[in-house]
């Protein structure tokens, strides 16, 4: 960003949040973080803590925002994001995406800050439209194991819309598709983490269903570039997909990871979990039009970076 800004990152000790904090500090911005460390780790912020422009408070967003400072942007990343994390605490997941989001929007309204909401491709559920455009309303089960996260994010989006309509609050919602990179937790439960840990422990790779279901994987650097473009250009428009439109079958991802790690791991097939999306791929034409952005890192290139960084997990 060309002009230094004051930015609050909720959930800043998490995988994506910590990378965002580093990128913001590198750009000369002043960064505030609120995180209850339920899924984030202080170790992720080790380099940030050395900067006088960085301010961290441990706390729960649902208790309010304890900072008393005029902000330019609030980047709302506070929420469990992996199935293992939100299944462990479904009520907390709903609360941070509903009451936590409401309190954040109130703070933004009174401090005249703009808001970036980190939503998710999960708002599309098990989509019947492919690839998914932002105008698609989704096919989501509101009464299931994934509903605390899926519906929590959908409610967070609805709250943002309501505050925009009633108060003129400036908000940008980004629907983040599967993102990976260094600092993912080994126990995360998502596919790349699972495969990598199983490979390193000499175990068979767990594939649910036939492995024909697809995902689109975005390297963390590409996501950060999109976020920084939004903040620098002060983009506040309708929801925007941010992801990599290259689509891969899960069993093909397993094969690629075996090749990159020179592993001979076998595949172990298990029943597919309830509400597991069959296909997931973003239409990013809106982001291309508004931001002039498109992901640059290929899956193999990004996986190699993660494989080399695994020793720091």
Give residue-wise pLDDT tens across range 64-82.
Answer: 999 999 999 999 999 999 8
Name the one residue in this structure whose structure tokens are 């994987």: 217
Q: What is the pTM of this model?
A: 0.95
Number of Cβ atoms within 10 Å of the Cβ of 79: 29
List, as own/partner pairs, every contact residues 185-191 make where C-beta atoms lie below 8 angstroms and the sequence separation is at least 24, other chains included: 185/15, 185/39, 185/41, 185/82, 185/313, 186/313, 187/84, 188/82, 188/84, 188/85, 189/82, 189/83, 189/84, 189/85, 190/82, 190/83, 191/215, 191/250, 191/253
Number of Cβ atoms within 10 Å of the Cβ of 83: 17
Q: How confident is the model at residue 83 (pLDDT cuts 50, 70, 90)?
A: confident
Pick the residue with more confidence: 13 or 309? 13
Q: Has residue 170 got a pLDDT over 90?
A: yes
User: Which residue is catalytic, options 86, 107, 124, 149?
Assistant: 149
**Spatial distance between the Cα atoms of 301 and 309, rounded to a whole number of angstroms:** 13
**Spatial distance between the Cα atoms of 40 and 16, rounded to a whole number of angstroms:** 10
Average pLDDT for residues 188-200, to the nearest whole number?
89
Backbone dihedral angles phi then psi of residue 268, each to the nearest 5 degrees: -120, 115
- Catalytic residue status for 149: yes
Average pLDDT for residues 144-171, to the nearest whole number?
96
């Amino acid at each position: 960003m060309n002009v230094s800004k004051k930015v609050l990152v909720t959930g800043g000790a998490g995988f994506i949040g910590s990378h965002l904090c580093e990128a913001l500090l590198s750009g000369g911005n002043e960064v505030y973080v609120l995180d209850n460390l339920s899924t984030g780790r202080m170790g992720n912020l080790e380099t940030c803590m050395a900067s006088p422009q960085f301010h961290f408070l441990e706390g729960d967003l649902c208790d309010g925002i304890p900072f008393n400072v005029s902000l330019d942007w609030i980047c709302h990343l506070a929420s469990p994001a992996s199935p293992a994390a939100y299944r462990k605490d479904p009520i907390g997941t709903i609360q941070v995406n509903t009451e936590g989001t409401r309190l954040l929007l109130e703070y933004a309204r009174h401090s005249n800050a703009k808001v970036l909401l980190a939503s998710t491709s999960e708002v599309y559920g098990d989509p019947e439209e492919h690839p998914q455009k932002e105008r698609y309303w989704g096919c989501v089960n509101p009464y299931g194991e994934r509903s605390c996260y899926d519906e929590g994010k959908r409610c967070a989006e609805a709250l943002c819309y309501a505050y925009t309509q009633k108060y003129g609050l400036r908000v940008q919602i980004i629907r983040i598709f599967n993102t990976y990179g260094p600092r993912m937790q080994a126990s995360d439960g998502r596919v790349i983490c699972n495969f990598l840990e199983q490979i390193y422990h000499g175990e068979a790779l767990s594939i649910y269903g036939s492995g024909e279901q697809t995902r689109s994987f975005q390297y963390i650097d590409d996501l950060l570039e999109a976020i920084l473009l939004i903040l620098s250009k002060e983009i506040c428009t309708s929801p925007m997909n941010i992801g990599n439109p290259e689509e891969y079958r899960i069993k093909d991802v397993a094969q690629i990871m075996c090749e990159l790690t020179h592993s001979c791991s076998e595949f172990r097939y298990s029943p597919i979990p309830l509400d597991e999306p069959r296909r997931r791929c973003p239409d990013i034409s809106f982001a291309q039009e508004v931001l002039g952005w498109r992901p640059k890192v290929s899956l193999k290139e990004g996986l190699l970076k993660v494989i080399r960084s695994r020793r720091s997990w």
